[in-house]
Amino acid sequence: MKIYLNVFKNIFKGTLFIFLFILISSKDLIAKSEFKNEIIVAQRADAKTLDPQKSIDTISNRVINTMFESLLFIDENLKIVPSLAKSWKRLDDLTTIFYLKENIYFHSGHHMTSEDVIFSLNRARESIQTGYYYSLFENIIPLDKYTIKITTSKPFGAMFNYLASSGSSIVCKKSVLSLGEKFAQSPIGTGPYKFKKWIPGEMIVLEKFNKYHKELTNNKNLIIKIVPEVTNRTIALETGEADIAFDIGTLDRSFLKSHNDLKLIEVDAPSILYLGFDKTNPLFSNNLKLRQAIAYAIDNKVLADIVFMGGATPADSPMPPIVPGYNSNIKKYNQNVELAKTLLNEAGYPSGLNLDLWITNQSTWIDIATIIQDQVKQIGINLNIKIFEWGAYVSKTAFPKKSLYLLSWNVSSIDGDPALYPLFHSEEKGGSGNRSFYDNTKVDSLLLKARTTADQIKRHKLYGQVQEIIQEELPHYTLVYPKYNLGAKKSVENLILQKNGYVNLAKIYIKN
């Protein structure tokens, strides 16, 4: 009988253990299923690279920012706050000490130290794409394992803005050295998501990084799908194939606003869309009147009202109004067809001329190009529109001797230096940003003076002078200031689109 009692006790204990295990596991499963496991984001083009020190385009940086972090960060109030640096101290106008957080791990498992930070910033300094950010950096040295000192050759007004940029992302030194060129396709950062796979032209899959130093994301996977056609991105939202979609088209904006289950988020942005005149093209190099004729033939308000329908404002300066130092008291090119005809005649084309206009395969740009084509036809210019895939377009427009082209520029660092220096300084011709191959010694001097001035009011005045010269000489003609927008399911919570275009995709969630 005693044996039977012992057997019964053991069976009871075992049954109780199994019951408790099932109960605990069930609670765990319920907790895990509280949030949707996968967040799917649709964007219009594939990333060109996933290496932060080789990227200058918004599409690539959007993905990069989910995996990488910089020393500093620009928050939703456009203030500079700590990120991988816990604090910093300015010793004088040339010297700053940064104190690093000590609990940071890379996705590879390596611990972040000052060695990685110095390696990353030196790598950025040497990059063709991002080097102009750091031209005033003289020395970056370690003071200990978690402290670095940055010395500049002159006062650097935009330094903190640049240290918050994607180009200043901290990479794992060991991983970069071991992977070499493959790092761009197998990135390793410290961000809330880590790289899982990349199917070019189709999707990029990221997964939750469980050793992240801040609050962990509620989503296991982040899937970024490439959906080039603007209408298909909205359809993906409606059918549930996507939770978030960037760059909503003009007609779809009003559809989302009135939809019961979808929403539109739109903000003013530090962004411009411009028509470029390549100064290495003999047509444009020494013919200001031709450039002015084209500018006067275009009605920017029509572009803003018809193409963007409230999603952009007409431009009157090469710098967007949201950036400190914007100057609106400069030359205007309000549409004047008769004056445009006169200028075209004086430029040496009394019978008109034929030109190519290059654009990428974005519906908004196609619409803009079509309207510009119609507007300049009134003065005798026949435009042949040529459309290219985004990745090829970014590469193609970096080369000289091209025809007219459309491009956008986004100033995510919210400062006059990134708004103007890369686009107009003669040292930045080609891939860095100056794709008009513009060269003006006075502009170079003003930009350098503004860059090397710590007094922000003085910097703003200098940038005002640059804008005056640019608007007079027209190396490019700024058409509109597009707003940033995205569409999403109303069930997506904690979704904030900052005015610099940043969206923290790790903080969003969808409850089941």
The pLDDT tens digits for 231-289 are 999 999 999 999 999 999 888 999 999 999 999 999 999 999 999 999 999 999 989 99
Residue 33, pLDDT score: 62
Q: What whole-number distance in Å separates Cα of residue 72 and Cα of residue 85?
A: 6
pLDDT of 6 strictly over 50: no
> pLDDT tens digit string along 435-460?
999 999 999 999 999 999 989 999 99
Confidence bin at 5 (pLDDT 50/70/90):
very low
Residue-averaged pLDDT of the chain: 92
Residue 350 has which token pair? Answer: 């009394």
Measured in degrees and rounded to the nearest 5, phi and psi for residue 318 equal -75, -5
Q: What whole-number distance in Å separates Cα of residue 56 and Cα of residue 46?
A: 14
Q: What whole-number distance in Å separates Cα of residue 165 and Cα of residue 505?
A: 17
> pLDDT tens digit string along 13-63?
444 444 444 444 444 444 456 889 999 999 999 999 999 999 988 899 999
Q: What whole-number distance in Å separates Cα of residue 320 and Cα of residue 465?
A: 15
CATH 3.20.130.10 fits 271-482, yes or no: no
Residue 152 has which token pair? Answer: 């500049």
Q: CA nearest 74: which of 158, 153, 154, 187? A: 158
Question: What's 191-268+484-510's CATH class?
Answer: alpha beta
Q: What whole-number distance in Å separates Cα of residue 153 and Cα of residue 392?
A: 37
pLDDT of 199 strictly over 70: yes
Q: What whole-number distance in Å separates Cα of residue 32 and Cα of residue 512?
A: 10
Q: What whole-number distance in Å separates Cα of residue 296 and Cα of residue 343?
A: 9
- Decide if 180 contacts 82 (C-beta within 8 A): no
Residue 250, pLDDT score: 84
Q: What whole-number distance in Å separates Cα of residue 76 and Cα of residue 356?
A: 40
pTM above 0.75, yes or no: yes
pLDDT of 421 strictly over 60: yes
Residue 432, pLDDT score: 72
- Cα 130 off chain centre by: 13
Residues 6+ positions from 33 with CB-CB distance below 8 Å: 512
Residue 158 has which token pair? Answer: 């935009």
Q: CA nearest 163: which of 270, 63, 88? A: 88
Q: Which residues pair with 353 in a beta bridge?
A: 381
Query: Span 211-237, mean pLDDT?
Result: 95
pLDDT of 366 strictly over 80: yes
* Sheet of 476-482, strands arranged across: 312-314, 476-482, 271-276, 404-410, 353-360, 381-388
Residue 137, pLDDT score: 96
Is there a shared CATH topology between the 191-268+484-510 domain and the 271-482 domain? no
137-146: long-range contacts at Cβ-Cβ below 8 A with a sequence spacing of 24 or more? 138/94, 142/114, 142/115, 142/118, 143/97, 143/114, 144/114, 145/113, 145/114, 146/99, 146/100, 146/101, 146/102, 146/113, 146/114
Residue 20, pLDDT score: 40
> pLDDT tens digit string along 312-343?
999 999 999 999 999 999 999 999 999 999 99
Residues 6+ positions from 466 with CB-CB distance below 8 Å: 420, 424, 443, 446, 447, 450
DSSP-derived 3-state class of residue 235: helix
- Cα 40 off chain centre by: 19
Residue 133, pLDDT score: 87
Architecture of domain 69-183: Alpha-Beta Complex (3.90)
User: Which residue's entry shows tokens 């390793």?
Assistant: 188
> pLDDT tens digit string along 367-418?
999 999 999 999 999 999 999 998 899 899 999 999 999 999 988 889 999 9
- Cα 342 off chain centre by: 40
Q: Which residue ranges make up each domain of the chain?
A: 69-183, 191-268+484-510, 271-482
